[in-house]
């Protein structure tokens, strides 16, 4: 290390720092010589004049890359102390030990120039205040960053080349093992292999990952999971099933015998400093870096794996993408939940439950646009119409449902019995292994002996519980379908007898049967309450049904506007409420709710649209311009309105109520006023108005 002439007394009065770092934990464990070379720099600092008490070795950032300062706490503290002027020299075996990032490197150089801190490496000592030294250090930092980039390119190219041939060695999923010769085979543990196969068979049967999880939970089955790190790295542990674990099995192409590389690619924006494995996002298949088929022994075929992926995507899609595809059935009384889409806007319709009824509701415009819902229809009649169409479509076929059900029941019982026996065998091995471990421990070492004893006892308890479950299941008689002779005859030909069997089936069974033929239902309701139901069948054919459904509201519809215009017309003709109601019902017009118009419905309709009777119009001052109302005429002759009504009742004023307005209207003439004034003075006995 040259450049001792640059070392001044001001530098020797401060500490000398030796920064030690290696890129990853593997280098720390295996490349011991690099650590020894870096620590040997301490002797060189002593030769340059620093005291042993002033030399500090900083090695807290071992196993961390220098691509960024985040995550390197010791480097950050070092930079802070440089800024405070506490350090006389920083020594590293080479510049790349301090930083492989030009931003971090030049920031450190700026601080060193301000605080007059020297930088040293195996080549010499540099003063950052000297232009030539700073230029050289800048070039070294740039070359260090470029070196990391070139190393990464070469490593990635080699890794990708092996991946495209399917020869890259990486962690195998649960259910596979790699032999000493490097060959990949099935896990020799038959319980592991059969449990993986069970996941795929149950997904094929039930159609969704949630249903597979429910089956495992109901049957109290565990899933094997191979540990890739930690205390039990390389071992297979049996854990409680989770949805993420089931999805990781269903989505992994290795179970179809394919080698895939680049399924998860790193996003720098999501990566956490100091955690190289973070920030990985699952990418689409077209973005995978390599995909080689027929590399591993397969649990399923490649076509089966592709169908599983398509099925899982269908379970997540909106109804717009599901129109011609089958999907898993949902909970609730609605038979068509998840299959229905709106015929007006084309978006999915959800199910809304209230009391004992349900509706199919389009909420797209409400949720995203803040406007009124496109439509909502009573679900019961829609379901009945679709089920009737399903009966018609399936009637010509001949299906022996009873025989198929009994055969399926026998297969499932045999499968469950096999799983229970494998569980007993596995736990028996675990218990014997725990016993052997306990026997080998020194009895005087009570701490270890007590732990192994508890482990043995726990294994024996689990084994005993598994044996009891197997014994109960094995001794229990095979459940038989309790079915009468008449029902047995019906189930022997389901195609023609399905309408009779339908009420006896469970709700889940009905939904599953509908989805064997129906892939989508399109609904569109007209203002008159007639719903057009378009049923999309498997294969692409479409049938259309017209069905009258209850209308919960005709507000603001074209039909209601026509009814309002008719009410205005009848009101202008002077008809009373009862006459208007009778006329509307005679014309077979329908209100929003109920089958016929009533006084309450008509009153609400008039109030909503501001329709008032002719009499009310007169009260509001809206009368023919050629007439006076009784109140206006009373004002003209300076009497009280009651005087006019009394004279009419006594016959002194002979006038009939207007047939349209329903009240007394006097001619708007001077002669009419003169006659009434004469009647008031007593010079006339009576006044007659035609």
For position 30, what pLDDT does the model report?
77
Tell whether the model's pLDDT for residue 614 goes beyond 50. yes
104 shares a domain with 17: yes
Residue 179, pLDDT score? 86
What confidence score (pLDDT) does residue 196 get? 92
For residue 49, the domain's CATH number is: 3.40.50.1390
Nearest alpha-carbon partner for 94 in 145, 48, 26: 145
Q: How high is the pLDDT of residue 319?
A: 38
Q: Is residue 358 part of a domain?
A: yes
Percent of the chain, pLDDT > 70?
86
Question: Structurally, how many domains does the chain consist of?
Answer: 6
Task: Report angle CA 616, 622, 625 to the nearest 5 degrees.
Answer: 140
Tell me which H or E stretch contains 358.
strand 357-361
Taking a C-beta distance cutoff of 8 angstroms, is the pair 8, 17 a contact?
A: no
User: Mean pLDDT, to the nearest integer, of 423-430?
Assistant: 84
Which residue did the predictor score with more confidence, 411 or 274? 411
Determine the pLDDT at residue 320: 41
Active site residue 96: no
The pair of three-digit structure tokens given for residue 283, joined into one six-digit string: 């990418």
Domain membership flag for residue 498: no
Mean predicted confidence (pLDDT) in 302-307 = 92
Instruction: Answer yes or no: is 622 within a domain.
Output: no
Q: Are residues 10 and 148 in the same domain?
A: yes
299 has pLDDT over 90: yes
In a domain, 497, yes or no: no
Among 136, 48, 42, 52, smallest CA distance to 93 is for: 42
Q: Compute the CA torsion angle 404, 407, 409, 412 (nearest 10 deg).
A: -120
At residue 675 the predicted structure's pLDDT band, cuts being 50, 70 and 90, is confident
Q: Identify whether residues 384 and 526 lie together within a single domain.
A: yes
Residue 500 in any domain: the answer is no
Residue at 601 is within a domain: yes
Residue 176: per-residue pLDDT: 92
- State phi, psi for 377 to the nearest 5 degrees: -125, 145
- Contacts of residue 425, defined as CB under 8 A and 6 or more positions apart, other chains included, come to 191
Beta-carbon contacts of 363 under 8 Å, excluding residues fewer than 6 positions away, are 349, 350, 373
Residue that wins the pLDDT comparison between 621 and 347 = 347
Is residue 304 very low, low, confident or very high in pLDDT (cuts 50, 70, 90)? very high
Residue-level pLDDT at 321: 45
Mean pLDDT score, 19-42:
80
The pLDDT score that the predictor gives to residue 323 is 43
d(CA 623, CA 618): 5
Per DSSP, the residues of 441-495 read S-TT-HHHHHHHHHHHHHHHHHHHHHHHHHHHHHHSPPP-----HHHHHHHTTHH
Is position 89 within any domain? yes
Range of the domain at 675: 627-688
Residues 96, 18 share a domain: yes
pLDDT value of position 369: 55
Distance, CA of 548 to CA of 571 (rounded, Å): 31
pLDDT at 139: 87
Same domain, 63 and 137: yes
Note the pLDDT tens digit of each residue in 361-401: 887 766 555 566 777 788 888 888 998 888 888 766 544 54
What is the C-alpha to C-alpha distance for residues 70 and 246, in angstroms, rounded to an integer? 35
Average pLDDT, stretch 203-227?
A: 87
For the chain, how long is the longest CA-to-CA vector? 145
Q: What is the spatial distance between Cα 521 and Cα 651, in angstroms, rounded to a whole number?
A: 73
pLDDT reported for residue 556: 56
pLDDT of residue 300: 92
- Average pLDDT score over residue span 500-520: 82
Q: Is the pLDDT of residue 241 over 70?
A: yes
Domain match, 324 and 307 both: no
**Which range, of 14-23, 113-122, 402-411, 596-605, averages the lowest pLDDT?**
402-411
114-147 pLDDT, tens digit each: 998 898 888 888 888 888 888 888 888 888 888 8
CA dist 404 and 402 (Å) reads 5
**Quick check: 255 pLDDT over 90?**
yes
Decide if pLDDT at 404 tops 70.
Answer: no
Residue 328 above 60 pLDDT? no
Q: What is the pLDDT of residue 246?
A: 92
Q: In the predicted model, what is the mean pLDDT of residues 69-77?
A: 81
pLDDT above 90 as % of the chain = 6
| Residue 491 covered by a domain | no
User: How many C-beta atoms lie closer than 10 Å to residue 446's C-beta?
Assistant: 11
Calculate the alpha carbon distances from 376 to 271, 531, 551, 554, 557 in Å. Answer: 46, 11, 9, 11, 14
Q: What is the DSSP letter of 660?
A: T
- Which of 23, 378, 613, 629 is catalytic? The answer is 23
> Is the same domain home to 517 and 452?
no
Average pLDDT over residues 247-255: 92
What is the C-alpha separation between 577 and 662, in angstroms, rounded?
12
pLDDT digits (tens, 9 = 90+) for 1-21: 555 678 888 888 899 888 888
Q: 330: pLDDT confidence band, cut at 50, 70 and 90? A: low
Judged against a pLDDT cut of 70, whether residue 317 lies above it is answered with no
- Looking at the fold, whether 31 and 156 belong to one and the same domain comes out as yes
522 and 393 in a common domain: yes
User: What CATH number is attached to the domain comprising 684?
Assistant: 1.10.1660.10
Q: What does the pLDDT read at residue 250? A: 93
pLDDT at res. 272: 66
Residues 402 and 409: beta-carbon distance below 8 Å: no
Whether residues 337 and 286 share a domain: the answer is no
pLDDT, mean over the chain: 80
Start-to-end CA span in the chain (Å): 132
Distance CA 274, CA 18 (A): 22
Q: What is the 3-state secondary structure (H, E, C) of 518-571?
A: EEEEEEEECCCCEEEEEEEECCCCEEEEEEECCCCCCCCCHHHHHHHHHHHHHH
For residue 196 the two structure tokens come to 């993986």
Mean pLDDT of 9-34: 83
Question: Is 325 found in the same domain as 295?
Answer: no
Give the rounded distance of the alpha carbon of 21 from its chain centre. Answer: 44
Predicted confidence (pLDDT) at residue 292 exceeds the cutoff of 80: yes
CA distance 468 to 589: 71
Contact 71, 273 (CB under 8 A): yes
b/e 607-641 (16+ beta carbons within 10 angstroms → b)? eeeebebbbeebeeeebeeebbbbebbbeebebee
Q: Which two tokens stand for residue 586?
A: 């005679």
Task: Give me the mean pLDDT over the 508-534 stretch.
Answer: 83
Indicate the DSSP class of residue 368: I
Residues 388 and 520 occupy one common structural domain: yes
pLDDT of residue 99: 83
Residues contacting 517, CB < 8 A, separation 6+: 390, 393, 394, 537, 538
Q: 190-199, 463-472, 473-482, 672-681: which has the minimum mean pLDDT? A: 473-482
CB 629 within 8 A of CB 618: yes
Alpha-carbon gap, residue 493 to 399, rounded angstroms: 5
pLDDT in tens, 443-499: 777 777 788 888 888 888 888 888 888 887 777 766 555 555 555 555 555 556 677
């Amino acid at each position: 290390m040259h450049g001792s002439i640059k070392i001044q007394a001001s530098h020797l009065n401060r500490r000398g720092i030796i920064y030690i770092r290696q890129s990853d934990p593997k280098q720390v464990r295996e490349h011991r010589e690099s650590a020894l070379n870096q620590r040997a720099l301490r002797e060189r600092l002593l030769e340059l004049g620093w005291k042993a008490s002033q030399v500090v070795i900083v090695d807290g950032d071992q196993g961390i890359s220098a691509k960024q300062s985040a995550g390197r706490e010791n480097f950050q503290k070092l930079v802070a102390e440089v800024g405070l002027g506490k350090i006389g020299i920083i020594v590293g075996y080479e510049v790349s030990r301090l930083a492989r990032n030009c931003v971090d490197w030049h920031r450190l150089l700026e601080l060193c120039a301000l605080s007059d801190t020297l930088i040293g490496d195996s080549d010499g000592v540099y003063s950052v205040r000297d232009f030539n030294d700073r230029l050289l250090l800048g070039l070294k930092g740039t070359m260090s960053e470029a070196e990391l980039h070139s190393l990464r390119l070469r490593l990635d190219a080699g890794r990708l080349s092996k991946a495209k041939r399917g020869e890259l060695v990486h962690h195998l999923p649960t259910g596979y093992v790699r032999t000493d010769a490097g060959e990949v085979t099935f896990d020799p543990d038959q319980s592991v292999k059969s449990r993986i196969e069970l996941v795929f068979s149950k997904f094929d049967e039930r159609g969704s990952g949630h249903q597979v999880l429910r089956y495992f939970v109901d049957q109290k089955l565990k899933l094997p999971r191979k540990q890739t790190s930690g205390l039990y790295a390389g071992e297979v542990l049996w854990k409680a099933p989770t949805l993420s674990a089931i999805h990781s099995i269903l989505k992994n192409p290795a179970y179809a015998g394919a080698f895939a590389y680049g399924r998860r690619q790193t996003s720098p924006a999501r990566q956490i400093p100091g955690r190289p494995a973070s920030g990985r996002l699952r990418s689409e298949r077209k973005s995978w870096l390599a995909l080689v088929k027929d590399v591993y022994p397969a649990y399923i075929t490649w076509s089966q794996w592709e169908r599983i992926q398509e099925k899982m995507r269908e379970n997540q899609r909106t109804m717009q993408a599901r129109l011609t595809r089958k999907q898993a059935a949902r909970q609730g009384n609605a038979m068509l939940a998840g299959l229905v889409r709106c015929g007006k806007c084309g978006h999915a319709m959800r199910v809304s439950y209230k009391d004992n009824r349900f509706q199919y509701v389009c909420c797209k415009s409400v949720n995203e646009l803040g406007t009124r819902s496109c439509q909502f229809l009573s679900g019961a009649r829609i379901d009945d119409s679709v089920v009737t169409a399903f009966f018609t479509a399936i009637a010509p076929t001949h299906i022996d449902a009873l025989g198929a059900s009994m055969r399926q029941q026998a297969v499932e019982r045999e499968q469950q019995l096999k799983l229970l026996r494998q569980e007993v065998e596995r736990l028996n091995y675990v218990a014997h292994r725990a016993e052997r471990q306990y026997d080998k421990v020194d009895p005087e070492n009570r701490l270890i002996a007590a732990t192994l004893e508890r482990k043995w006892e726990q294994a024996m308890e689990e084994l005993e519980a598994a044996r009891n479950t197997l014994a109960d299941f094995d001794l229990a008689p095979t459940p038989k379908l309790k079915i009468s002779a008449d029902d047995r005859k019906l189930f022997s030909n389901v195609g023609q007898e399905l309408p009779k069997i339908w009420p006896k089936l469970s709700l889940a069974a009905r939904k599953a049967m509908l989805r064997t033929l129906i892939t989508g239902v399109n609904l569109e309701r007209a203002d008159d309450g007639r719903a057009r139901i378009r049923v999309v069948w498997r294969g692409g054919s479409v049938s259309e049904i017209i069905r009258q459904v209850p209308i919960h509201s005709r507000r603001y519809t074209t039909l209601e506007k026509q009814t309002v215009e008719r009410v205005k017309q009848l009101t202008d003709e002077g008809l009373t409420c009862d006459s208007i109601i009778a006329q509307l019902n005679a014309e077979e017009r329908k209100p929003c709710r109920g089958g016929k118009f009533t006084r309450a419905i008509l009153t609400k309709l008039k109030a909503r649209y501001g329709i008032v009777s002719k009499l009310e119009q007169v009260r509001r001052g809206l009368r023919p311009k050629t007439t006076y109302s009784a109140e206006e005429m009373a004002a003209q002759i300076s009497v009280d309105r009651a005087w006019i009504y009394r004279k009419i009742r006594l016959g002194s004023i002979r006038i009939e109520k207007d047939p349209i307005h329903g009240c007394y209207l006097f001619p708007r003439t001077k002669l009419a006023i003169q006659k009434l004034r004469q009647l008031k003075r007593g010079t006339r006995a009576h006044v007659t108005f035609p």
